[in-house]
Amino acid sequence: MATPSAKPALIPINAVIFVGFPLLALVLVPAWGLYAGFSGAQWIWAVVFLYFNGLAITGGYHRLWSHKAYKAHWSVRLWFALWGAGALQNSILIWASDHRRHHRHVDDNDHDPYSAGRGLWFSHMGWMLREYATNSEDFSNAQDLTRDPIVMWQHRNYVALTTFMNLGLPLLLGLALGDVIGTVLLVGLLRLVVNHHVTFFINSLAHYWGSRPYTEENSARDNGFLAFLTYGEGYHNYHHIFQTDYRNGIRWYQWDPTKWMIAGLARLGLATDLQRVPDFRIQRALLDMEFKRAQVFAEGRKEKALLDILESEYQLFTDAINQWKQLQTERYERRRDQLGDALEERRQQLQDRWEQAALRSRFRELEFTLRGQRKRLSELLQQWQLQPALG
Ligand SMILES: [Zn+2]
Ligand SMILES: [Zn+2]
Protein backbone atom coordinates (compact mmCIF):
# COMPACT_ATOMS: atom_id res chain seq x y z
CA MET A 1 0.00 0.00 0.00
CA ALA A 2 1.22 3.46 -0.82
CA THR A 3 2.25 5.63 2.08
CA PRO A 4 1.52 9.36 1.90
CA SER A 5 5.22 10.07 1.37
CA ALA A 6 5.56 7.55 -1.49
CA LYS A 7 6.56 8.99 -4.85
CA PRO A 8 3.99 8.98 -7.65
CA ALA A 9 4.09 6.04 -10.07
CA LEU A 10 6.84 5.86 -12.67
CA ILE A 11 5.79 6.44 -16.30
CA PRO A 12 7.42 3.46 -18.08
CA ILE A 13 7.57 4.93 -21.59
CA ASN A 14 9.19 8.13 -20.27
CA ALA A 15 11.67 6.14 -18.19
CA VAL A 16 12.72 4.29 -21.37
CA ILE A 17 13.06 7.54 -23.34
CA PHE A 18 14.82 9.67 -20.71
CA VAL A 19 16.89 7.05 -18.89
CA GLY A 20 17.13 4.12 -21.33
CA PHE A 21 18.04 6.13 -24.45
CA PRO A 22 20.96 8.04 -22.88
CA LEU A 23 22.39 4.78 -21.48
CA LEU A 24 22.04 3.11 -24.87
CA ALA A 25 23.71 6.09 -26.56
CA LEU A 26 26.55 6.02 -24.05
CA VAL A 27 27.31 2.36 -24.82
CA LEU A 28 26.36 1.89 -28.48
CA VAL A 29 27.70 5.09 -30.07
CA PRO A 30 31.33 4.65 -28.89
CA ALA A 31 31.12 0.90 -29.59
CA TRP A 32 30.04 1.48 -33.19
CA GLY A 33 32.61 4.25 -33.51
CA LEU A 34 35.38 1.84 -32.55
CA TYR A 35 34.02 -1.00 -34.64
CA ALA A 36 33.10 0.78 -37.89
CA GLY A 37 33.78 4.50 -37.37
CA PHE A 38 31.60 7.45 -38.36
CA SER A 39 32.01 9.53 -41.51
CA GLY A 40 32.24 13.33 -41.66
CA ALA A 41 28.88 13.39 -43.47
CA GLN A 42 27.24 11.53 -40.59
CA TRP A 43 28.58 14.05 -38.07
CA ILE A 44 27.42 16.98 -40.20
CA TRP A 45 23.93 15.50 -40.54
CA ALA A 46 23.77 14.91 -36.79
CA VAL A 47 24.51 18.61 -36.18
CA VAL A 48 21.99 19.67 -38.87
CA PHE A 49 19.28 17.52 -37.27
CA LEU A 50 20.26 18.85 -33.84
CA TYR A 51 19.77 22.46 -34.96
CA PHE A 52 16.55 21.72 -36.86
CA ASN A 53 15.12 20.09 -33.72
CA GLY A 54 16.45 22.71 -31.34
CA LEU A 55 15.25 25.70 -33.35
CA ALA A 56 11.82 24.10 -33.88
CA ILE A 57 11.49 23.91 -30.09
CA THR A 58 12.86 27.38 -29.29
CA GLY A 59 11.51 29.26 -32.32
CA GLY A 60 8.30 27.24 -32.74
CA TYR A 61 7.11 25.51 -29.55
CA HIS A 62 8.48 28.26 -27.33
CA ARG A 63 8.51 31.75 -28.86
CA LEU A 64 5.80 31.26 -31.51
CA TRP A 65 3.23 28.97 -29.88
CA SER A 66 3.76 29.40 -26.14
CA HIS A 67 4.39 33.16 -26.16
CA LYS A 68 2.99 34.44 -29.48
CA ALA A 69 6.11 36.59 -29.87
CA TYR A 70 5.44 36.72 -33.65
CA LYS A 71 3.21 35.24 -36.33
CA ALA A 72 4.44 32.67 -38.85
CA HIS A 73 3.36 31.48 -42.30
CA TRP A 74 1.76 28.00 -42.36
CA SER A 75 4.79 26.51 -44.12
CA VAL A 76 7.00 27.62 -41.21
CA ARG A 77 4.52 26.26 -38.68
CA LEU A 78 4.43 22.93 -40.52
CA TRP A 79 8.24 22.77 -40.51
CA PHE A 80 8.34 23.48 -36.75
CA ALA A 81 5.58 20.93 -36.10
CA LEU A 82 7.58 18.21 -37.92
CA TRP A 83 11.02 18.94 -36.47
CA GLY A 84 9.50 19.71 -33.07
CA ALA A 85 7.92 16.24 -33.10
CA GLY A 86 11.43 14.97 -33.93
CA ALA A 87 12.72 16.54 -30.71
CA LEU A 88 10.51 14.10 -28.76
CA GLN A 89 9.33 16.58 -26.12
CA ASN A 90 5.60 15.94 -26.50
CA SER A 91 3.11 17.68 -28.80
CA ILE A 92 3.03 21.48 -29.25
CA LEU A 93 -0.28 21.65 -27.37
CA ILE A 94 0.97 19.83 -24.27
CA TRP A 95 4.38 21.55 -24.30
CA ALA A 96 2.98 25.07 -24.68
CA SER A 97 0.28 24.53 -22.07
CA ASP A 98 2.89 23.28 -19.57
CA HIS A 99 5.16 26.18 -20.43
CA ARG A 100 2.48 28.81 -19.93
CA ARG A 101 1.84 27.34 -16.48
CA HIS A 102 5.60 27.49 -15.82
CA HIS A 103 5.59 31.24 -16.51
CA ARG A 104 2.41 31.96 -14.67
CA HIS A 105 3.37 30.02 -11.52
CA VAL A 106 7.15 30.15 -11.80
CA ASP A 107 8.89 28.56 -8.76
CA ASP A 108 5.53 27.60 -7.22
CA ASN A 109 6.09 23.95 -6.33
CA ASP A 110 2.38 23.14 -6.44
CA HIS A 111 1.60 24.63 -9.85
CA ASP A 112 4.78 25.11 -11.90
CA PRO A 113 5.23 21.75 -13.70
CA TYR A 114 9.04 22.02 -13.61
CA SER A 115 9.52 24.29 -10.61
CA ALA A 116 13.20 24.93 -9.87
CA GLY A 117 12.20 25.01 -6.21
CA ARG A 118 11.90 21.21 -6.32
CA GLY A 119 15.56 20.78 -7.19
CA LEU A 120 17.89 20.69 -10.16
CA TRP A 121 17.14 17.07 -11.06
CA PHE A 122 13.37 17.54 -10.85
CA SER A 123 13.40 20.64 -13.06
CA HIS A 124 15.79 19.02 -15.55
CA MET A 125 13.93 15.76 -16.17
CA GLY A 126 12.61 14.28 -12.94
CA TRP A 127 9.26 16.00 -13.54
CA MET A 128 8.67 13.88 -16.66
CA LEU A 129 9.45 10.51 -15.09
CA ARG A 130 6.52 10.17 -12.69
CA GLU A 131 2.80 10.91 -12.54
CA TYR A 132 3.19 14.19 -10.64
CA ALA A 133 -0.01 16.14 -9.95
CA THR A 134 1.55 19.21 -11.63
CA ASN A 135 1.56 17.33 -14.96
CA SER A 136 -2.19 17.62 -15.48
CA GLU A 137 -3.27 17.88 -19.11
CA ASP A 138 -5.50 20.89 -18.77
CA PHE A 139 -5.52 22.91 -21.99
CA SER A 140 -7.74 25.71 -20.73
CA ASN A 141 -4.72 28.04 -20.95
CA ALA A 142 -4.08 27.09 -24.60
CA GLN A 143 -7.48 27.49 -26.23
CA ASP A 144 -5.94 29.73 -28.90
CA LEU A 145 -3.67 26.88 -29.95
CA THR A 146 -6.55 24.44 -30.38
CA ARG A 147 -7.70 26.69 -33.24
CA ASP A 148 -4.41 26.21 -35.13
CA PRO A 149 -5.05 23.25 -37.49
CA ILE A 150 -1.33 22.42 -37.68
CA VAL A 151 -1.08 22.23 -33.88
CA MET A 152 -4.08 19.89 -33.70
CA TRP A 153 -2.91 17.74 -36.61
CA GLN A 154 0.47 17.30 -34.91
CA HIS A 155 -1.23 16.52 -31.57
CA ARG A 156 -3.41 13.79 -33.12
CA ASN A 157 -0.61 12.17 -35.12
CA TYR A 158 2.18 12.72 -32.66
CA VAL A 159 3.36 9.11 -32.24
CA ALA A 160 3.54 8.47 -35.99
CA LEU A 161 5.30 11.79 -36.63
CA THR A 162 7.89 11.42 -33.90
CA THR A 163 8.63 7.83 -34.94
CA PHE A 164 9.13 8.88 -38.54
CA MET A 165 11.33 11.86 -37.64
CA ASN A 166 13.48 9.93 -35.16
CA LEU A 167 13.71 6.53 -36.82
CA GLY A 168 12.33 6.71 -40.36
CA LEU A 169 14.32 9.73 -41.49
CA PRO A 170 17.71 8.59 -40.05
CA LEU A 171 17.05 5.17 -41.62
CA LEU A 172 16.48 6.68 -45.07
CA LEU A 173 19.51 8.90 -44.60
CA GLY A 174 21.55 5.83 -43.57
CA LEU A 175 20.53 4.05 -46.79
CA ALA A 176 21.68 7.07 -48.79
CA LEU A 177 24.99 7.30 -46.89
CA GLY A 178 25.62 3.55 -47.04
CA ASP A 179 25.66 2.93 -43.26
CA VAL A 180 22.23 2.41 -41.72
CA ILE A 181 23.27 1.36 -38.21
CA GLY A 182 25.85 4.12 -37.77
CA THR A 183 23.46 6.81 -39.05
CA VAL A 184 20.59 5.63 -36.84
CA LEU A 185 22.93 5.65 -33.84
CA LEU A 186 24.47 9.06 -34.52
CA VAL A 187 21.76 11.10 -36.27
CA GLY A 188 18.91 9.22 -34.59
CA LEU A 189 19.92 8.33 -31.06
CA LEU A 190 22.86 10.52 -30.00
CA ARG A 191 21.39 13.67 -31.60
CA LEU A 192 18.09 13.04 -29.78
CA VAL A 193 19.75 12.61 -26.38
CA VAL A 194 21.99 15.69 -26.81
CA ASN A 195 19.05 17.84 -27.88
CA HIS A 196 17.01 16.60 -24.93
CA HIS A 197 19.60 17.65 -22.39
CA VAL A 198 20.50 21.02 -23.88
CA THR A 199 16.85 22.05 -24.02
CA PHE A 200 16.25 20.71 -20.50
CA PHE A 201 19.06 22.99 -19.28
CA ILE A 202 16.66 25.90 -19.84
CA ASN A 203 14.36 24.59 -17.11
CA SER A 204 17.11 23.46 -14.78
CA LEU A 205 20.47 25.30 -15.02
CA ALA A 206 18.97 28.53 -16.40
CA HIS A 207 17.03 28.77 -13.10
CA TYR A 208 20.16 28.20 -10.97
CA TRP A 209 23.30 29.53 -12.61
CA GLY A 210 23.86 33.08 -13.85
CA SER A 211 22.99 36.68 -13.12
CA ARG A 212 19.67 38.40 -12.45
CA PRO A 213 19.97 41.88 -13.98
CA TYR A 214 16.25 42.44 -14.62
CA THR A 215 14.37 40.92 -11.71
CA GLU A 216 14.88 38.89 -8.56
CA GLU A 217 11.23 37.98 -8.30
CA ASN A 218 11.90 34.53 -9.76
CA SER A 219 14.83 32.14 -10.04
CA ALA A 220 15.49 32.64 -13.80
CA ARG A 221 19.07 33.66 -14.74
CA ASP A 222 20.94 35.18 -17.65
CA ASN A 223 23.87 33.02 -18.72
CA GLY A 224 25.79 33.53 -21.97
CA PHE A 225 27.39 30.09 -21.85
CA LEU A 226 24.00 28.40 -21.49
CA ALA A 227 22.69 30.59 -24.33
CA PHE A 228 25.36 29.06 -26.55
CA LEU A 229 24.15 25.54 -25.71
CA THR A 230 20.43 26.31 -25.85
CA TYR A 231 20.03 28.07 -29.21
CA GLY A 232 19.84 31.44 -27.46
CA GLU A 233 17.49 30.65 -24.59
CA GLY A 234 20.09 31.22 -21.88
CA TYR A 235 19.02 34.84 -21.34
CA HIS A 236 16.29 33.45 -19.16
CA ASN A 237 16.08 36.26 -16.60
CA TYR A 238 15.21 38.66 -19.43
CA HIS A 239 12.80 36.12 -20.88
CA HIS A 240 10.87 35.65 -17.65
CA ILE A 241 10.24 39.37 -17.23
CA PHE A 242 9.58 40.12 -20.93
CA GLN A 243 8.23 36.83 -22.24
CA THR A 244 6.50 38.20 -25.34
CA ASP A 245 9.73 39.59 -26.86
CA TYR A 246 10.80 37.50 -29.85
CA ARG A 247 14.39 37.97 -28.67
CA ASN A 248 15.99 36.50 -25.56
CA GLY A 249 19.46 37.96 -26.06
CA ILE A 250 18.60 41.56 -26.87
CA ARG A 251 22.09 42.89 -27.66
CA TRP A 252 23.28 42.30 -31.21
CA TYR A 253 26.30 40.36 -29.96
CA GLN A 254 24.37 38.09 -27.60
CA TRP A 255 24.23 34.55 -28.99
CA ASP A 256 20.61 33.96 -29.93
CA PRO A 257 20.30 31.98 -33.19
CA THR A 258 16.55 31.67 -32.57
CA LYS A 259 16.16 35.46 -32.78
CA TRP A 260 18.32 35.57 -35.93
CA MET A 261 16.21 32.85 -37.51
CA ILE A 262 12.96 34.72 -36.73
CA ALA A 263 14.39 38.01 -38.07
CA GLY A 264 15.53 36.12 -41.20
CA LEU A 265 12.06 34.62 -41.69
CA ALA A 266 10.60 38.13 -41.35
CA ARG A 267 12.91 39.36 -44.12
CA LEU A 268 11.60 36.58 -46.34
CA GLY A 269 8.03 37.58 -45.51
CA LEU A 270 7.41 34.31 -43.64
CA ALA A 271 7.15 35.89 -40.17
CA THR A 272 5.29 39.05 -39.15
CA ASP A 273 4.30 41.03 -36.03
CA LEU A 274 7.64 40.50 -34.27
CA GLN A 275 7.20 41.72 -30.69
CA ARG A 276 9.94 43.84 -29.12
CA VAL A 277 9.76 45.32 -25.65
CA PRO A 278 10.40 49.12 -25.78
CA ASP A 279 13.91 50.04 -24.72
CA PHE A 280 12.56 52.29 -21.98
CA ARG A 281 10.91 49.37 -20.19
CA ILE A 282 14.13 47.36 -20.43
CA GLN A 283 16.19 50.24 -19.03
CA ARG A 284 13.61 50.78 -16.30
CA ALA A 285 13.84 47.15 -15.15
CA LEU A 286 17.66 47.28 -15.14
CA LEU A 287 17.77 50.57 -13.26
CA ASP A 288 15.20 49.42 -10.75
CA MET A 289 17.38 46.41 -9.87
CA GLU A 290 20.48 48.63 -9.70
CA PHE A 291 18.72 51.00 -7.29
CA LYS A 292 17.70 48.08 -5.07
CA ARG A 293 21.30 46.85 -4.90
CA ALA A 294 22.66 50.36 -4.32
CA GLN A 295 20.17 50.85 -1.50
CA VAL A 296 21.34 47.67 0.23
CA PHE A 297 24.96 48.80 -0.16
CA ALA A 298 24.25 52.31 1.15
CA GLU A 299 22.28 51.04 4.13
CA GLY A 300 25.10 48.64 4.97
CA ARG A 301 27.58 51.55 4.91
CA LYS A 302 25.26 53.82 6.91
CA GLU A 303 26.52 56.82 4.87
CA LYS A 304 23.94 59.56 4.99
CA ALA A 305 25.47 61.50 2.09
CA LEU A 306 25.20 58.46 -0.17
CA LEU A 307 21.65 57.70 0.93
CA ASP A 308 20.69 61.30 0.12
CA ILE A 309 22.18 61.15 -3.37
CA LEU A 310 20.40 57.86 -3.99
CA GLU A 311 17.12 59.32 -2.85
CA SER A 312 17.33 62.30 -5.21
CA GLU A 313 18.42 60.04 -8.09
CA TYR A 314 15.47 57.79 -7.37
CA GLN A 315 13.18 60.81 -7.54
CA LEU A 316 14.52 61.60 -11.04
CA PHE A 317 13.90 57.98 -11.98
CA THR A 318 10.29 58.14 -10.79
CA ASP A 319 9.79 61.42 -12.69
CA ALA A 320 11.05 59.84 -15.90
CA ILE A 321 8.68 56.89 -15.46
CA ASN A 322 5.73 59.22 -14.93
CA GLN A 323 6.62 61.23 -18.03
CA TRP A 324 6.86 58.03 -20.02
CA LYS A 325 3.44 56.87 -18.81
CA GLN A 326 2.03 60.28 -19.76
CA LEU A 327 3.49 59.95 -23.26
CA GLN A 328 2.00 56.46 -23.60
CA THR A 329 -1.43 57.85 -22.73
CA GLU A 330 -1.00 60.64 -25.28
CA ARG A 331 -0.05 58.16 -27.96
CA TYR A 332 -2.98 55.92 -27.10
CA GLU A 333 -5.45 58.83 -27.19
CA ARG A 334 -4.09 60.08 -30.49
CA ARG A 335 -4.66 56.63 -32.00
CA ARG A 336 -8.20 56.56 -30.67
CA ASP A 337 -8.94 60.00 -32.11
CA GLN A 338 -7.65 58.89 -35.47
CA LEU A 339 -10.02 55.92 -35.47
CA GLY A 340 -12.97 58.17 -34.69
CA ASP A 341 -12.09 60.69 -37.38
CA ALA A 342 -11.43 58.44 -40.32
CA LEU A 343 -12.82 60.94 -42.85
CA GLU A 344 -10.51 63.74 -41.81
CA GLU A 345 -7.54 61.44 -42.01
CA ARG A 346 -6.02 62.88 -45.16
CA ARG A 347 -6.19 66.46 -43.97
CA GLN A 348 -4.61 65.50 -40.69
CA GLN A 349 -1.95 63.27 -42.15
CA LEU A 350 0.79 65.88 -42.39
CA GLN A 351 0.26 67.21 -38.92
CA ASP A 352 0.07 63.70 -37.47
CA ARG A 353 3.31 62.73 -39.04
CA TRP A 354 4.98 65.73 -37.50
CA GLU A 355 3.43 65.06 -34.09
CA GLN A 356 4.40 61.40 -34.21
CA ALA A 357 7.99 62.31 -34.94
CA ALA A 358 7.94 64.74 -32.01
CA LEU A 359 6.48 62.06 -29.78
CA ARG A 360 9.11 59.56 -30.89
CA SER A 361 11.91 61.94 -30.09
CA ARG A 362 10.46 62.56 -26.62
CA PHE A 363 10.37 58.79 -26.06
CA ARG A 364 13.96 58.59 -27.24
CA GLU A 365 14.98 61.39 -24.85
CA LEU A 366 13.51 59.51 -21.91
CA GLU A 367 15.41 56.37 -22.91
CA PHE A 368 18.61 58.42 -22.93
CA THR A 369 17.74 59.82 -19.52
CA LEU A 370 17.59 56.34 -18.04
CA ARG A 371 20.77 55.22 -19.78
CA GLY A 372 22.57 58.29 -18.42
CA GLN A 373 21.25 57.64 -14.96
CA ARG A 374 22.46 54.03 -15.01
CA LYS A 375 25.93 55.25 -15.93
CA ARG A 376 25.92 57.84 -13.12
CA LEU A 377 24.73 55.29 -10.60
CA SER A 378 27.42 52.79 -11.46
CA GLU A 379 30.15 55.48 -11.28
CA LEU A 380 28.81 56.68 -7.96
CA LEU A 381 28.89 53.19 -6.47
CA GLN A 382 32.37 52.53 -7.80
CA GLN A 383 33.63 55.66 -6.04
CA TRP A 384 31.99 54.73 -2.76
CA GLN A 385 33.17 51.15 -2.90
CA LEU A 386 36.75 52.43 -3.02
CA GLN A 387 36.29 54.51 0.13
CA PRO A 388 36.78 52.84 3.51
CA ALA A 389 33.52 52.47 5.41
CA LEU A 390 32.94 54.81 8.33
CA GLY A 391 31.05 52.69 10.64
ZN1 LIG B 1 11.86 29.33 -16.92
ZN1 LIG C 1 9.04 30.97 -21.99
Determine the distance separating the centroid of ligand 1 and the alpha carbon of 207, expressed in angstroms: 6
* 301 CA from centroid of ligand 2 (Å): 39
Residue 187 in contact with residue 49, Cβ under 8 Å?
yes
Ligand nearest the Cα atom of residue 258: 2
Structural domain contains residue 4? no
Average pLDDT, the chain: 92
Neighbours of 386 (CB within 10 A): 7
240 found inside a domain: yes
Q: How far is the CA of 200 from the centre of ligand 2 (A)?
A: 13
Check whether residue 167 and residue 288 sit in a common domain: no
Model pLDDT, residue 359: 84
Distances (CA, A) of 272 to 58, 265, 268: 17, 8, 10
Q: How close is the Cα of 198 to the center of ligand 2, in Å?
A: 15
In a domain, 2, yes or no: no
Which comes out higher in pLDDT, residue 357 or 225?
Answer: 225
Measured in Å, residue 375 CA sits from the centre of ligand 1 at 30
211 CA from centroid of ligand 1 (Å): 14
The span from the CA of 110 to the CA of 107, in Å, is: 9
Is the pLDDT at 2 greater than 50, yes or no? no
Q: What is the pTM of this model?
A: 0.89
Q: Tell how far the Cα of 108 is from the centroid of ligand 1, in angstroms.
A: 12
Note whether 78 and 99 are same-domain residues. Answer: yes
Are residues 259 and 340 part of one domain? no
CA of 115 to the centre of ligand 1 (A): 8
100 Cα–ligand 2 center, Å: 7
Domain count, the chain: 2
User: Which residue, of 272, 296, 311, is where some domain finishes?
Assistant: 272
Same domain, 298 and 221: no
- Report if residue 351 sits inside a domain: yes
Residue 309 has pLDDT above 80, yes or no: yes
Of the listed ligands, the closest to the CA of 113 is 1
Q: Measured in angstroms, how far is the CA atom of residue 144 from the centroid of ligand 2?
A: 17
In a domain, 131, yes or no: yes
CA of residue 330 to ligand 2 center, whole Å:
31
* pLDDT of 13 strictly over 50: yes
- Distance in angstroms (rounded) separating the CA atoms of residues 46 and 54: 12
Residues 264 and 314 in one domain: no
249 and 336 housed in the same domain: no
**Final residue of a structural domain among 223, 251, 272:** 272
The region, left, alpha or beta by phi > 0 then psi within -120 to 50, assigned to residue 296 is alpha
Regarding whether 262 and 171 lie in a shared domain, the answer is yes
For residue 63, which ligand has an atom nearest its CA? 2
Q: Is the pLDDT of residue 306 over 50?
A: yes
Ligand nearest to the CA of 96: 2
Counting ligands in written order, the one closest to the CA of 67 is: 2
Could you tell me if 98 and 200 are in contact, meaning their C-beta atoms sit under 8 angstroms apart? no
Q: Are residues 193 and 322 in the same domain?
A: no
Ligand nearest to the CA of 239: 2
Task: Tell me what pLDDT residue 390 has.
Answer: 57
Among residues 272, 296, 329, the one where a domain terminates is 272
pLDDT in the model for residue 45 = 98
Do residue 284 and residue 381 come from a single domain? yes
Give the start-end residues of each E strand in 46-175: 71-72
How many Å is the maximal CA-CA distance in the chain? 80
Q: Is the pLDDT of residue 118 over 90?
A: yes
Say yes or no: 258 and 290 in one domain.
Answer: no
Q: What is the Cα–Cα distance from 337 to 341, expressed in whole angstroms?
A: 6
Ligand 2 midpoint to CA 99 (Å): 6
Residue 258 has pLDDT above 50, yes or no: yes
Please state the rounded mean pLDDT for residues 192-206: 96
What pLDDT sits at residue 340?
59
Mean pLDDT (whole number) for 13-32: 96
pLDDT over 90, % of the chain: 71
Give 71's strand partners. Answer: 272
Q: State in Å: Cα 219 to ligand 1 middle.
A: 8
In a domain, 302, yes or no: yes
Integer Cα distance of 124 and 128 in angstroms: 9
Domain containing 310 equals 279-386
Assess whether 192 and 312 both reside in one domain: no
Instruction: Among 72-76, 121-125, 289-293, 330-334, name the one with the lowest average pLDDT.
Output: 330-334
Both 199 and 53 in one domain: the answer is yes
Packed helices 40-55 and 191-203: angle between N→C axes, nearest 10 degrees: 30
Residue 6 domain-assigned (yes or no): no
Query: What value does the mean pLDDT take over residues 262-268?
Result: 98
Q: With 90 as the cut, is the pLDDT of residue 299 above it?
A: no
Ligand nearest to the CA of 203: 1
Please report whether residue 46 resides in a domain: yes
d(CA 82, CA 53): 9
Q: Is pLDDT above 70 for 4? A: no
107 alpha carbon, closest ligand: 1
**CA separation for the pair 223, 352 (Å, rounded):** 43
Q: How far is the CA of 319 from the centre of ligand 1 (A)?
A: 32
236 CA to centre of ligand 2 in angstroms? 8
Instruction: Please give the distance, rounded to the nearest whole angstrom, from the Cα atom of residue 134 to the centre of ligand 2.
Output: 17
CA of 337 to the centre of ligand 2 (A): 36
> Ligand 2: distance of its center to the CA of 62 in Å?
6
